[in-house]
Each structure stands twice: as C-alpha cells, then as structure tokens.
Structure 1
Amino acid sequence: MADSDPEPAPDGARRARAESAAGEPTRLLRAAMQEVSTVIVGQEQMVERTMVALIARGHCLLEGVPGIAKTLAVSTLAKVTGGSFARVQFTPDLVPSDIVGTRIYHPSTERFDVELGPVFANFVLADEINRAPAKVQSSLLEVMAEKQVSLGGTTYPLPAPFVVIATQNPVESEGVYPLPEAQRDRFLMKVLVPHPRAHEEMEILRRMSTTPPEAHQVLDPVTLLELQADAERVHVHQLIADYVVRLVMATREPEEYGMGDLRRVLEIGASPRATLGLVAAARALALIRGRDYVLPDDVRLLARDIMAHRLVLTFDALADGVTTTQIVDRVLATVPPPRVIWDDPASGEPAAVAAR
C-alpha cells in the first residue's frame, strides 16, 4: 500500500521556516552594512546601493563631487567583506596595459612573461574614471562583461566575487572624457552621491578629527558567493516581471503607454540589461530587507539608479535641460505597478499580486 501524502504544514509553520531560511543572509548583510557605517557617516543610500550591486553580481558607478567618501566607502566595503581591493587612479596618460596587464620580454630567459594588472582583485575601484580617454575606459569592457582578461592569446579569469565600482566628478568638464553609452550600460546602476547634511557633517568632524574608526571584517568571499546565490533564489512574481518589462518598454515605445511627448526627448531607450538589472537588483534589495520575495516597491525604488544612465537624450532635450531622472520619474508615474494583496498584514507576507 502506497504511503499517503504528508499533511501540508500550517501557514504559521511555513512562514516560520521561510523567515528562518531568509533570516541568516539578511542578518549577515545588515551586519556588514552596519560595520561600513562605523566609518562612513550618513550616505545610507550609497552604502545600500553598493551592497545591492555586489549581491546582484553587478557593477556600480558613483557620481559626486570630491570629498564625500566615495573612495573610502568602497575600500571599507572591501575590508568588511574580506575581499582583495585594488584602486586604479584614472588619468589622461593611463594606457590599457596599466589596468589589465601586459606581456614583458625577459632577455635572460628569452621569453615573454605575463604581468597581470590591478583588475585581478575582488573589488576594483576605478577612481575618476572619466579622466581617462575612451581607449582606456574600453579596456574594462571585457573585464566587466565576461569577468576575464585576454592577453597574448590566453584568457585569465578574474577572482570571484568580482565587482568594479567607478567614481566620477559631474562638475568638471575640462580634461574629462564622458563615458560612452556602451560603457555606461555595463554598470548595473549609477548612484548620485550628495553632500552630507549638517548633522552628518558635525558627526564627520567628531569622528575624523581624532583617530579615525576602523571597520572589521564581517564576511568572506565564500560567504559572499553564497549570499549572491541566496539572492538569485528570491521569488519574483510573474506580474512583477511584467511590470519591469513595461517600465523598460515605456522608454523605447512611449507612444504605446500614453507618453508620446517623450519621443521628442528620448533618442534611445533602456537596453535589455536594464530589464535584467532591475530584477537582479530587486532580488538583492529584498534579501537585504529580510524578504524572500520581491515587491513592486523594490523595483520602483531602484528604477532611477538602474534606468536613468542607460537613456540617451536628443539634442532638443539637452538644450531644454531635460534630465534622464525626470524621464524615469515620468515613466514610474505613468506605468501602473501591480497591486499587492496582503493575506495578513501582521505576517508581512503577500497572499498574491494582482494586475491593476
């Protein structure tokens, strides 16, 4: 006689198991971010977004004026997560071999030896990336997309996990080379880093005027890879996936979504990397916030960072002072998100997601 099917577990037990499974990754990620915050004052959004990019296996572009702790945040994150760290200061006289490496001939042995460049690290900080010409910037394309370097007919894989975090100054226009569209598209997100507020400035003065605090290691590369795998298992409802696609398609075919006036200002809409990036980043954000499912708010919260830098404006839009963030805000306001139906608000879990 065949065994009968096991009795399904009660909802409460099922929720408890789900919370227990998702609780440890969330605790580790929050502990790592908290440790970064012992050094970095304020800038919570920058710290969270760089962690999202890391867990989503993407790269991050930080844009802000000098002196607001962009470089310090990246080096601190590397120390907290236990990964190797390399900083490359981009300058106009830099050449691609300074980044990826080169072959060097040794007369004593009459052979070429390969000297690998600084990109062979878990965390690569491309400081002031827009100060180097396009030839140097493009040397990172294979590094960022395939996570490998080809030298002398041999391919060298990069260490895992691997992330490129670049910084750029938006104010200076002399002696800089704006990133081309293909390069910007390789970055999962572009984060605008503002000046600290008054109370944060006072805390910076208090902390840094004496012996600066030091962060301690919380994670290690192996654990980081496991957390990346945990994020990929976060559930994405079909209607949320459809919402992501509609947001991206609205930048390519605005007429179909009742925004025909955007055709005058949009030359190129967001690429498929925006679609993939929104889902991957939303999964990582959900994991950081203690959920094993993605909500529409996760997508909306990250849309600016992931979509805006992928849009190409027309000359008329540039002349009129239209920004890509304004276009993303318009798309978010026009394209309706799916509606979350909560089974029990106290449980913090949705029963279903319904279309508007």
Structure 2
Amino acid sequence: MPRGFTFRVRRVPAVIAVALAVVVGLAASVAPTHAQDRAALTRHLSNRRSDFRLRVQAAFGLGNLRDARAVPALSGALHDPNPAVRAAAATALGRIASPRALPALRTARRDSSAAVRMQVGRSISSIEEARAAAAAAESSTPGSSRSRRYGAAPTISIMPRADRIQWPRVRYVVTLGDMENRSNFEGNGLETTLRAEVTRALRVLRGVAVMQSEIHLDDRARREMRRRRLPSLRLDGSIAEVQRNRRGRDVSVRCEISLMLLDGRRRSLRGELRGAATGTEPRRRDRAQRAEQEKRLAERALQGAVRSAMSNASQALERAANH
C-alpha cells in the first residue's frame, strides 16, 4: 500500500460490521492524491487473496479520492466475500457520490449482511441528495458542473421540503445554526465543511428531521411539529483549534470542534458534543505544496473530528429533548 494519510479519532462509532470497526480502529485509512496511487489501490482492492484489512483500506482510500473513475472497482468490491470490504466499498461509493454507482448499490440492498445493507442505504441517500443538489446548482448557474464530472460531491446537500419529510418517523427536529471557525488556521471554507459534515452525520440518525436553517421551518413543518409535539433543537458548531505539527518527515494537523445543542425557541444550552481528530502525511518538499497539504489535512481532520463528536449524538439528542 502507498504511504499516505493517517487518521485518528478520539471515539470511533460502531456504524458497520464489527470486523470493519476493528479495521478502522487498527489501521489507517489512505487518501492518496495521484493517478498512480489510484491504480495501486484498485489492484489491492481487487486482490481477494490479500488480507481483508488491506482491501478495506484500499476501498477507503479510493473513496477519499472522490474520483468517479474508481466507481467500477468499488462496485466490484460490493461482491467481495468479506462483509467488511463490502461495507467499506459502499461507504466509499457514498463519498464519491457518482450516480454511476447507483445500479450496483441498489443490487447490494439484498446483501446477506445487515451492516452492509445499512451502509448501502446511506450511500444511496447521499448520492441521490448529491444529484438533486447538482441539478439545482446547474439550473441556477449553467456551466458549473464541470468539477462534478470527476465525482466531487457538493459541499452542502439540499434539505428536503417539509412535505417530503416522513413525519410519523420523526422524534426530533434539529435546525442548523451558526458554524464558525474560531481557530487561527486560515483554511478556506472550513466553516462550510463543518456544516456539510454535521448535516451528513445528522441525516443518518434515526428519527431526526434536519433543517438547514430557520427559513426551512415553513408553516407545514411548524404545524407538524405542534401536532406531534416534537422537540425542536438548534445545533451551533465551532472549530475550536487547528494545530500543525511537523515531526521528522511527516506533517500532521489536529482539529478540535465543539457542537452546542440549544433549545430551539429559548436558545438555552441543552448539551455539548466535542470531538478531535488528527491527519498525518509525509511532508511535501515544495513550500507551496506544503501549504496546500496542510489545508487538505485540516479539512480531513475536521471531517474526522465531526465523526468523533457525533458518535454519541443519539444519546445527546435524547437528553437534550428531555431536559
């Protein structure tokens, strides 16, 4: 495997099969940046004689590339004999968010593993939301779809209208509030990444209706909330600290975040979620490349910090709603 991105989080949620959780806990996910690395990862993924943990890493690495050219290899990995590899492949296809992956994912909804089926469902939802967001963006700004041809997911997915929310299944309504970068790190768009990752994490929680902002709380939503007596919460987020560290030939960036759960009406504090993660790569030699590398590591560490913070989100929402 090529030497690449190392990922550490304070807490890892048990989202998929136990075998895959062990892999995530023990091994680093890979995020290479060159075409030759994509080819190497594809070879590792297709080698079913190798240790399944290497294939899981390869699937994660291809997903982190967010390159639609990896879709055929990942689609093939949905038939891997190991469920951890199949779940990792489904996760990676969701990160790439290419509609080309939908036929294979829909077939995989009949997988024998419940954990794989769950991840497949989440990835299908992510891709369909990404496609809807891309269509909306293209209708308002023609010619802006060029970057999506290569599998880049939109930063923020479109929230469903109130008439599309399955209200009988909703237990809490969470409105996203302010997302701020309070660190000294000058990374472009970190607040946007924070909002996007928090949105994704909330949308996979059972019984949670997510509103991108208060303007999405239209009359229909408010009527449903009153009729069903649904708790209304607001979630504000901040990037508390981003730290660079250079050790030997490696460079690492650590990110800490704080998510505040507030009462939706009175804005009183109901709870707090904290998370941290560190990204590490071999340091680039060129100074300009190093600056770009640190920004990329900061973004990936931020994504991991959100996953770390949201690992206990279900319990925190329940406590906040019953406060």
Q: Same fold (TM over 0.5)?
A: no
Q: Which has the larger radius of gyration?
A: 1
TM-score between both structures, scaled by the size of structure 1: 0.29
Flag the structure with more relative contact order, 1 or 2, with Cα contacts below 8 A and sequence separation at least 6.
Answer: 1
TM-score between both structures, scaled by the size of structure 2: 0.31
